[in-house]
Structure 1
Amino acid sequence: MARVVFVGVATADAIAVVDHHPTPDERIIADDLVHSGGGPAATAAVTAARLGLPVELVCTVGDDAQGRGIASDLAAEGVGLRHLRVDPDLRTPASVVLSSRRETARAICTLPVPPLQLQPEARAAVLKADWVHVDHLGWPAVAELLADVPPAKRPRLSVDDGNPTPSLCRPADVQLYVPTVARLTDRFPDTTGSVPESGAPAGTSPVTAHEAALLAAPGAERVVATDGARGSIGRDSDGSLHRADAVPVDVVSTLGAGDVFHGALLTAVVRGLPLPRAMAFAGEAAARSCRAVDGRSAIPSRHELTAPCGEVKESE
């Protein structure tokens, strides 16, 4: 089995569903209020575990009720927690989320999270892994650890570039780079539309010239950019371009959908699926996760998905 380690942040989230985002001093009644685990790396790890991939998570929580709740929920999902660190001096990362039905958008207020410090056992786990997935908190720590490691001896890297990651100036030596389209545009503003349109799998929209140019992110072996309701676009290691259209569902909330996409995409890639099929698999998993208020409870198992993945043998 492939050794897959997720590195980053785990949070305790309180999510309120409201008709609209309140104005200053306005008091509104919530349609629903849910408490759930969150965090990009943690939710991606939960997704991979629910889809049948054995995973470990490297993160830090405080010695408080929220931290214990996070650990309990992750353990119940089958996420390996040998490298979850309890820091008595840290307040567990937490967020308050307002999900607006009218604006179909969300506002997030989160506590500051200090830089992640990799303990010796976690450093060893990262170095021995076949794949390491990092979010904005995990990237600086992992990048520093691998800086002096020869490329041939590094684990393969999957990078979630959805949240701002200032130190990620160039995704060099990254095997799977997954930003949002907006983040990709910000990072590479000088790309042009000089690349001709490509073909796309049957039943999907073609990749436009502008999208193709954006996918020329230097240093990354594969690039998949998420594009919300438009699905995702991707560039494979051989330069081929792909689009996976979004799967229509009755959306309750999109909270955590990007994190679910990352976990499902990496699961499919680890199992050896071609990139177009991996993108379709991840897109369906992310779409189905939008059926609940929180970003976790509606994450599907692989048996619920129509995009094939379970039939592929897992990497040895």
Structure 2
Amino acid sequence: MTSAADVVFVGALTLDAIAVVDTFPEPDSRQVARDIVHTGGGPAATAAVAAARQGVRAALVGTVGEDAEGERILAELRAEGVDTHAVSVLPGQRSAASVVVVDASAGTRAIAARVAEPPVIGPQARALLAQARWVHADHLGARPLLAHLAMLPTQDRPGLSIDDGYGIDGFTPGGVDLYAPTVASLAQRYGDRPVPDLLAAARADGAHAVVATDGAQGAWFVADGTAEHLPAHRVDALSTLGAGDVFHGGLLAALAGHRPTDVTTTELAHAVSWASVVAALSCRGVDGRSAIPTPAEVLAARPELRPAHRAEEAR
């Protein structure tokens, strides 16, 4: 039986092998890695873990293969308290996986991926979505999720958040409650303009709230007023792998107690501040998950923040 969730995440689940090296390898070279880590990944899955670490009820919709990698992916997610009942295990298929090389000297990375099958919006997923306040989809989950939501009456839909960091062919943000691109993907969509103008263009296309991440430069956001910028929270970063996904999980956790239509620029400012600290502290780890902080760690780093809202408190 599928339990209720505050936020449902729809998209990719992977198993990652991550090597941290001093400099990126030359062809046919060999070097000793600082560390090699095997861990779960995927934008939607990592965002779900981040939200669960913040104390909200998080569920995941996606696919894994009928293999040892899929078993490990699901076991790690369940250990984090993420509801995986709506993850489909595909007979005869292999799970998604990635090999990631992190260049410690430059702070960059290269990823070679075996991609996942798109999520299946089956009966258990539909039951989760019928009760959730928010749903967040990455590039892999956006199309099946949007197709499902299009069949529902407006009043029966959860708040919709879309991660557009990788770009989604044919997608426009009309009707999206929380549009979450990168500044780079916004520029690809709307052209070379000042960032506030890019956010205004997304709002003109029908997005209610927009939060655009800009890596080490921080994030821009707007809901019902003027676009604002928040600098990134500074830490001694070991790796930025998955930081954007962690940011989205922290953002949805902070908004889980709000109905989508109630989100103002003021409320968004708090959520972006919370998510910024969550994402920054996650960069203390090699992978995208092991160093994701708890709420107590977030408040220790930024005591002036109020705790992230809990969905059950607003009911």
Is the shorter-chain TM-score for this pair beyond 0.5, marking a shared fold?
yes
Matched with 1:265 is 251
Matched with 2:261 is none
**Equivalent position amino acid for 1:280 in 2:** S
Relative to 1, partners in 2 of residues 1:258 and 1:212: Cα closer, same or farther, differing over 3 Å? same
Residue deviations 1:199-247, cap 9 Å, x none?
xxxxxxxxxxx111010201110000001111100011x1332211111
| TM-score w.r.t. length of structure 1 | 0.89
Percent identical: 48
Q: Larger deviation: 248-257 or 158-167?
A: 158-167
Matched with 2:41 is 38
> 2:155 aligned to 133, 152, 157, which one?
152
Preserved CA contact (<8 Å) 2:63 2:117: no
**Equivalent position amino acid for 2:186 in 1:** L
- Report the CA distance between 1:88 and its aligned residue: 1.6
SS in 1 for 2:84: coil
Matched with 2:221 is 234
Preserved CA contact (<8 Å) 1:302 1:309: no
Matched with 1:76 is 79
Relative to 1, partners in 2 of residues 1:67 and 1:2: Cα closer, same or farther, differing over 3 Å? closer
Unaligned 5+ segments in structure 2 are: 259-265
Residue deviations 1:145-179, cap 9 Å, x none?
122323333211011111232132x1111111111
* Cα distance in structure 2, aligned partners of 1:9 and 1:2: 18
SS in 2 for 1:53: coil
Note the 1:161-310 alignment, pairs <5 A: 161-168=164-171, 170-189=172-191, 192=193, 210-216=194-200, 217=202, 218-236=205-223, 238-272=224-258, 274-306=267-299, 307=302, 308-310=305-307
**Equivalent position amino acid for 1:146 in 2:** L
Preserved CA contact (<8 Å) 2:10 2:62: yes
**Equivalent position amino acid for 1:213 in 2:** D
Q: How many residues align?
A: 296
* Cα distance in structure 1, aligned partners of 2:209 and 2:88: 31
Preserved CA contact (<8 Å) 2:253 2:308: no
- Report the CA distance between 1:44 and its aligned residue: 0.4
Q: If each structure's helix is expressed as a fraction of its own residues, which one has the higher value?
A: 2
- Report the CA distance between 1:2 and its aligned residue: 6.6
Preserved CA contact (<8 Å) 2:20 2:102: yes
SS in 1 for 2:83: coil
Relative to 1, partners in 2 of residues 1:103 and 1:243: Cα closer, same or farther, differing over 3 Å? same
Matched with 2:263 is none
Preserved CA contact (<8 Å) 2:62 2:118: no
Matched with 1:197 is none
RMSD: 1.6
* Cα distance in structure 1, aligned partners of 2:136 and 2:73: 19
**Equivalent position amino acid for 1:251 in 2:** A
- Report the CA distance between 1:65 and its aligned residue: 1.1
- Report the CA distance between 1:309 and its aligned residue: 4.3
- Report the CA distance between 1:188 and its aligned residue: 1.0
Matched with 1:198 is none
Q: Larger deviation: 264-273 or 285-294?
A: 264-273
Relative to 1, partners in 2 of residues 1:251 and 1:311: Cα closer, same or farther, differing over 3 Å? closer
**Equivalent position amino acid for 1:260 in 2:** V
SS in 2 for 1:121: helix
Residue deviations 1:115-135, cap 9 Å, x none?
322222213322442211100
Unaligned 5+ segments in structure 1 are: 193-209
Q: Larger deviation: 81-90 or 268-277?
A: 268-277
Residue deviations 1:75-99, cap 9 Å, x none?
1100011111111221010000000
Q: Larger deviation: 114-123 or 155-164?
A: 114-123
